[in-house]
Amino acid sequence: MFETVEIPVWMVSVAGLLAFAGLLDRILIPSVRWYLRRRFNRAINRLNDRLQLQIQPFKLTKRQVMIDRLAHDPQVLGAVIEHSKEENLPYSVAADLAMRYAREIVPSFSAFAYFGAGITFARWLSRALYRVRLGYVNEQALQDMDSDATVVFVMNHRSNMDYVIVTFLAASRSALSYAVGEWARVWPFKQFIRSTGAYFIRRRSRNSLYRKVLARYVQMATAAGVTQAVFLEGSLSRDGALRPAKLGLLNYIVSDFTQQQERDVVFVPVGVNYDRVLEDRILLAAHNGEKTGVFLKIKVFLHFVIRHIWLRVTRRFYKFGYASVSFGVPMSLKSFVADKTEMSHERMTSELGKVLMREVGQVVPVLPVSLISTVLLDGDKQPMSEEQLRNLSSKELDRLLANGAYMHIPRDDLNYAVEVGLRMLVLRHALELKHGMYHFKPDEKELIQYYANAITHLR
């Protein structure tokens, strides 16, 4: 019993490592996890004290827990049964498919990723490319919103920079949860975007099971009070003009809403405009039916980055003019549906989409390039001097303001705004300055029309 037993050194080493791993697993790691969780909760509490719209516990729930809740939701399970019958699949296969969809959709929100790296990157990129300005804001109306309501920012979609600039300007109010298209499901963007609380959607999918899983996620997030941001047009405007509302996500929100529920849903109209949209020529090409595949987009992107770096190095870079975001008056869903009880669900959703799109359009800011483009087109492509353009711009602006539009006038000087607009169009090679007169480039009218379309609805 007390005899000496020889044990190989490697076996002692392995036993020691296993003992150390057990110590970590049972004592040290739980203690560290508890300590970090405590600090995390304190940080979230301090963050919520600064935000107008607090981060809801739903967003902080572990991702795997949310995936399981979504995949085993009674309505999703019902859709699984229907899908297995329609497609003649075993129930287990359809259930695995629903789990895969849930895993694809559910984000993994990190407050540190969103308010740390996310906001820092959004602020840097926005200011590096544009002169960012906050447009019209009814601050009192925003402050008077029901603090317990689910707030949904509904906006137009001009550029993929919308995500960046709106996130930056809304950072003091809340963390926004975006629905992001399939373009972002690529490494390394996928993981980072998911950590900011965005969820991926297949915009063109007609799979009924997928649609039910997506609908239930949106409804669960809405019921839990998660602040969301929805692009009402569904995708980027190819010709620059506002398009009718796509009712997909809006329908998911409305279909699960009842007047009797305690938590209201409040829509905040958001209008975005730019003096230069980064994707303008690609969007126009797509609008004209030209092929704009992935390789072309990558080629254009790389050309843009290389040219941008070269202009920076040679100190010839001009920022892309102004980018402005306006926030309209919030609209309560309870108030909207109160006098529409006789309407069918489809008609009510359609009417809501039209009303929201109209409100979004009303707060789209007028910027120098849009104003100058409108005046140039009204001039029937005749060469004009800067003085003529100033006079015509003043008259056009008076008409727009009389219709309730808002314009960001740089330095409160309309003459300077005209100068900015003309300079941007000259840099884009849409105009030529010859002997003091501005001339249309023969093949660039479409680009000028694109920017004029941004405010056509305000005339």
- Domain at 422, CATH number: 1.10.10
Question: In this structure, is residue 16 part of a structural domain?
Answer: no
Q: Do 410 and 380 share a domain, yes or no?
A: yes
Q: What is the pLDDT of residue 360?
A: 96
Q: Do 386 and 262 share a domain, yes or no?
A: no
Question: In this structure, is residue 43 part of a structural domain?
Answer: no
In the sheet that holds 431-434, the strands lie side by side as: 384-385, 437-440, 431-434
Q: Do 271 and 387 share a domain, yes or no?
A: no
For the packed helices 445-453 and 368-378, what is the interaxial angle rounded to 10 degrees?
A: 120
CATH number of the domain bearing residue 150: 3.40.1130.10
Total number of domains in the chain: 3
Q: Do 300 and 374 share a domain, yes or no?
A: no
Residue 87, CA distances (Å) to 83, 92, 204, 210, 343 in order:
6, 13, 20, 14, 34
- CA torsion 345→349→352→357, rounded to 10°? -170
CB neighbours of residue 312 within 10 Å: 11
Ranges assigned E (strand) in 57-212: 131-137, 150-155, 177-180, 199-200
Q: Do 420 and 439 share a domain, yes or no?
A: yes
Q: What is the pLDDT of residue 182?
A: 67
Query: Last residue of some domain: 330, 345, 362?
Result: 362
Q: Do 265 and 193 share a domain, yes or no?
A: yes
What's the rounded Cα separation, in Å, for the pair 150 and 25?
40
Q: Do 358 and 227 share a domain, yes or no?
A: yes
Question: In this structure, is residue 112 part of a structural domain?
Answer: yes
Question: In this structure, is residue 386 part of a structural domain?
Answer: yes
Question: In this structure, is residue 19 part of a structural domain?
Answer: no
What's the rounded Cα separation, in Å, for the pair 253 and 269?
16
In a structure prediction context, what are the per-residue pLDDT tens digits for the chain, which is 459 residues long? 566 666 777 776 777 787 766 666 666 666 555 555 565 556 556 655 666 777 777 777 888 889 999 999 999 999 999 999 999 989 999 999 999 999 989 988 877 778 777 888 889 989 989 999 999 988 888 888 888 899 999 999 999 899 889 988 888 778 888 888 766 666 656 777 777 788 888 877 888 999 999 999 999 999 998 989 999 998 899 999 999 999 889 999 998 888 888 889 999 999 999 999 988 888 888 888 877 665 666 666 677 778 777 877 777 777 899 999 999 999 999 999 887 777 888 889 999 999 999 999 999 999 999 999 999 988 776 888 999 999 999 999 999 999 999 998 888 899 999 999 999 999 888 898 888 889 888 788 899 999 999 999 998
β-pairing, 199-200 vs 177-180, is parallel
Q: What is the pLDDT of residue 147?
A: 81
User: Which residues constitute the domain of residue 414?
Assistant: 368-458
Question: In this structure, is residue 41 part of a structural domain?
Answer: no
Q: Do 328 and 257 share a domain, yes or no?
A: yes
Q: What is the pLDDT of residue 189?
A: 64
Q: What is the pLDDT of residue 38?
A: 60
Query: Last residue of some domain: 345, 362, 379?
Result: 362
Q: What is the pLDDT of residue 26?
A: 65
What's the rounded Cα separation, in Å, for the pair 332 and 144?
12
Query: Residue 432: phi, psi to the nearest 5?
Result: -125, 140
Q: Pinpoint the alpha helices (H) of 130-197.
A: 139-143, 161-169, 189-195
Q: Do 148 and 171 share a domain, yes or no?
A: yes
Q: Do 259 and 134 share a domain, yes or no?
A: yes
Question: In this structure, is residue 35 part of a structural domain?
Answer: no
What's the rounded Cα separation, in Å, for the pair 98 and 111?
28
CB neighbours of residue 176 within 10 Å: 23
What's the rounded Cα separation, in Å, for the pair 397 and 412?
13
Residue 192, CA distances (Å) to 115, 117, 200, 204, 327 in order:
12, 9, 12, 24, 27
Q: Do 289 and 385 share a domain, yes or no?
A: no
Query: Last residue of some domain: 316, 345, 379?
Result: 316
Q: Do 249 and 297 share a domain, yes or no?
A: no
Q: What is the pLDDT of residue 37?
A: 58
Q: What is the pLDDT of residue 27?
A: 64
| Sign of torsion over alpha carbons 228, 233, 238, 242 | negative
Question: In this structure, is residue 32 part of a structural domain?
Answer: no
Q: Is the distance from CB of 220 to CB of 70 less than 8 angstroms?
A: yes
